[in-house]
Amino acid sequence: MRTRPQTGMEIDGFTLGEKLHEGGFATIWDVTHALYRTPLVMKVPKIMDGDDGPTIVGFEVEQMILPRLTGVHVPRVVGVGDFTAMPYIVTERIPGDSMLKLFLDAPSPLSEVIELGARMAAAVHDLHRQHVIHLDLKPENFLQRPTGEMVLVDYGLSRHDQIPDLLAEEFTIPMGTFPYIAPEQYLRSRIDPRSDIFALGAMLYQLATGKYPFGKPEKLRGVKKRLWRDPVPPRALVPDLPEWLQEIILRALEVDPARRYQTAAQMMFDLTHPTQVKLTDRAAKLQQDGFGTVFRRWRKMRRVKGFAAPASVQSQISRAPIMLVAVDLSHEMERLADQLRLNVQRMLVTEPDMRVACVNVIKTHRMAIDNVLDDEGNHMHVSRLVGLKHWAEGIDLGEDRLTYTVLENTDPAAAIIDYARHNHVDHILMGARGHSTTRRYLGSVSSQVVAESHCSVTVIRLRETEDSAAA
């Protein structure tokens, strides 16, 4: 007979308080420990006296994965108990409830859909960067810190690139929450991080419309239909929904993972830069595909056994990074700007799914200047934006993966660093001159960016002969 949790029970120094939640597979308890002052919770699997294979294996998976994770988007683990007495995981207690009630009250205001969607995507991207695919994203598994960051919980169905996938080894049936499960999960794939992007798209759809994109099937065969049946376009349910948001949602819900966002960071980027979202036929749809289209898709999909998947989560992120290119558009920096463009073109050969964010910084003497004019009286922000687009003309990249931003800041380096951090940029490419006062100015900027950025940085410097010829 296994030990069962109950109020007042003590195990490994943890004292159980009240039961906070009871789900289908586990109970959550308030616990205290003499060594910890912060609020804690204990998760205990609901294991009957007989064998309960999926619950046992899923909890073992969570015990292996969760202690490996760090950062604000995951709960901090303080204790783990094995199956000899009573299995458990003790973590910090995130105050407040999950996002479930918010989703049940949907549709939500547009601003809330955008903000929440971006923060959820940021959490998922952070998880993927730590080699984990969640595979059971749903509103109940998102909590929110008082500081605003989303926290992902419940890793019983997750997959970690660097440890054995016990669930795949012992069970062949698809697992997940049916309203959010991706088509490739139905086909028994557990190796594609873009499955989490599909779930994000389904949740955005629900938050924006108050409806599930594919209904709420209770049996697995109801999931199969999403291999060929597209959802009702969100704007058919909410006419005021902007086309760019429908573009993002329907792109995330594409059947083939190759047609979705390739990383959660790219999805978050579009949510926070709506004016630069490239609109396709998806944005204008107001009804589902017709019978003929669906029938042809059904004939094709009934023969599909799976979709091409990346070798690992990290390889997918590396294959589709976001790169910030800081471009100086002044005349004396023209040759250096040409070198930056040449380097972008070379990098696109090896990373064809890369997204390029072209950035220029206007150095101001005070913050938040709305009407910065140059010496000729032209609006500097507009002219710099035009200049960025002209600079990027030689880059062979679709407009959906090439964006332009002009920043205004008293500190150019801080502007670049903040932009990179907020947009989960993977790499910064920038230039530095080789001599004179310009060198001192740009050199200090590039040095600060290298020292303080949370991502890799490449600094391009002209050779002295080239630099002198350009002066």
Mean pLDDT of 7-26: 93
pLDDT for residue 469 is more than 50: no
Better pLDDT: 94 or 53 = 94
Q: How do residues 63-110 score in pLDDT, each as one tens digit?
A: 999 999 999 999 999 999 988 888 999 999 999 889 999 999 999 999
Measured CA to CA, the distance from residue 24 to residue 3 in angstroms comes to 18
- Are 269 and 312 within one domain? yes
- Are 309 and 162 within one domain? yes
Nearest Cα neighbor of 430 from 332, 363, 295, 337 is: 337
What pLDDT sits at residue 200? Answer: 98
- Are 150 and 253 within one domain? yes
Which CATH number fits the domain that encloses residue 174?
Answer: 1.10.510.10
pLDDT for residue 459 is more than 90: yes
- Are 81 and 123 within one domain? no
Rg (CA), the chain: 25
Residue percentage of the chain with pLDDT more than 90: 73
Nearest Cα neighbor of 124 from 311, 306, 262 is: 262
Mean pLDDT of 25-48: 92
- Which residues have C-beta within 8 Å of that of residue 194, sequence separation ≥ 6? 182, 184, 257, 260, 261, 262, 316
Which CATH number fits the domain that encloses residue 373?
Answer: 3.40.50.620
Domain final position from 267, 297, 316 = 316
- Are 186 and 282 within one domain? yes
- On whether the CB atoms of residues 457 and 449 are closer than 8 A, the answer is yes
- Are 143 and 260 within one domain? yes
In a domain? residue 1: no
In a domain? residue 242: yes
Domain count, the chain: 3
Q: Which domain holds residue 24?
A: 10-92
Phi, psi of 274, rounded to the nearest 5 degrees = -60, -30
**Per the structure block, which two tokens stand in for 123?**
């959490």
Measured CA to CA, the distance from residue 133 to residue 158 in angstroms comes to 6
Residue type, 155: Y
What pLDDT sits at residue 160? Answer: 96
pLDDT for residue 128 is more than 80: yes
Q: How do residues 368-379 score in pLDDT, each as one tens digit?
A: 445 555 555 567
What pLDDT sits at residue 143? Answer: 97
In a domain? residue 2: no
Q: How confident is residue 174, by pLDDT bands cut at 50, 70 and 90?
A: confident
- Are 199 and 336 within one domain? no
In a domain? residue 287: yes
Q: Report the chain's mean pLDDT, rounded to a whole number.
A: 90
In a domain? residue 4: no
Domain final position from 92, 113, 128 = 92
Nearest Cα neighbor of 161 from 316, 313, 317 is: 313
Q: Lowest-confidence range among 37-46, 210-219, 225-234, 343-352?
A: 343-352
Residue type, 463: R
Q: How do residues 401-449 score in pLDDT, each as one tens digit?
A: 899 999 999 999 999 999 999 999 999 999 986 655 545 544 578 889 9
Which CATH number fits the domain that encloses residue 55?
Answer: 3.30.200.20
- Are 72 and 113 within one domain? no
Domain final position from 292, 316, 340 = 316
What pLDDT sits at residue 371? Answer: 53
In a domain? residue 229: yes
- Are 104 and 87 within one domain? no
pLDDT for residue 470 is more than 50: no
- On whether the CB atoms of residues 156 and 24 are closer than 8 A, the answer is no
Mean pLDDT of 444-462: 90
- Are 285 and 336 within one domain? no
- Are 71 and 164 within one domain? no
In a domain? residue 286: yes
Q: How do residues 148-169 score in pLDDT, each as one tens digit?
A: 999 999 999 999 999 999 888 8
Q: How confident is residue 224, by pLDDT bands cut at 50, 70 and 90?
A: very high
Residue percentage of the chain with pLDDT more than 70: 91
In a domain? residue 18: yes
Q: Lowest-confidence range among 55-59, 369-373, 450-454?
A: 369-373
Nearest Cα neighbor of 108 from 278, 240, 277, 214 is: 240
Measured CA to CA, the distance from residue 224 to residue 393 in angstroms comes to 43
- Are 311 and 329 within one domain? no
Q: How do residues 260-319 score in pLDDT, each as one tens digit?
A: 999 999 999 999 999 889 999 999 999 999 999 999 999 999 889 999 999 899 999 988
